[in-house]
Amino acid sequence: MSNEITGSIMKGVFIRYKGIVDFQGPWKLIADWFESKGFEVLERKAKHRIAPMGEELECAMDAWRNVTDYYRFKMTAYVKYFDGQYVDVVKNGKKKKLLKARIVFKIRGSLVFDYSDRYDKSKFTLALRKFMDNYVLRWQWDNIYGDQLNYKIMELQNVIKENMNFEAHGSEFADMW
């Protein structure tokens, strides 16, 4: 059975937005970003309902990428639209129907060890994996792969902020990993 760890940033970063947005824009942006970074993407949840205050939409997307034959990055993007109402907007001389809503983004990540379950065949190999994780390979996931995943999460957060035209976007960690 594979093992997963999450660090401080990996537990989740949030972005909150209130305003007019293209309905498919941010969700397509996240999927395209995952694919451009070599992640496999699975959209696991999409719920839509009409509430008294407006439309609500909830979407979740899982993405994973094998870093080595032992480690795997796993990321989850979650988007929820509240109080959505469609409005007509004239943009560049063209009339478009956009969504005025409150939006919450949550991005999480985890580092998966032994994702192919090669070391779960017997008690000896399980003890060997435990020894490797705790003593031999600990520095790799502590210093290299954990940091790499944290920077990927922050990079996706900044891409969303730039796309939604936030005033505070960009990062001092843009050139890392």
Q: Which amino acid is at 129?
A: R
- Given this model, what pLDDT does residue 163 score? 83
Give the CA radius of gyration of the chain.
19
Residue pLDDT, tens place only, 105-116: 999 999 888 888
- Asked if residues 81 and 98 have their Cβ atoms less than 8 Å apart, the reply is no
13-27, 42-56, 82-96, 157-171: least confident range: 157-171
The residue among 122, 141, 125 whose CA lies nearest residue 133 is 141
Residue 25 pLDDT grade (very low, low, confident, very high; cuts 50, 70, 90): confident
- Given this model, what pLDDT does residue 41 score? 95
pTM over 0.95: no
**pLDDT over 70, % of the chain:** 89
- Given this model, what pLDDT does residue 73 score? 92
Unique residue bearing structure tokens 């989850």? 76
**pLDDT over 90, % of the chain:** 23
Tell me how far apart the terminal alpha carbons of the chain are, to the nearest angstrom: 29
88 φ/ψ angles, rounded to the nearest 5 degrees: -90, 130
Q: Which residues are CB-neighbours of 52 under 8 A, at least 6 positions away? A: none
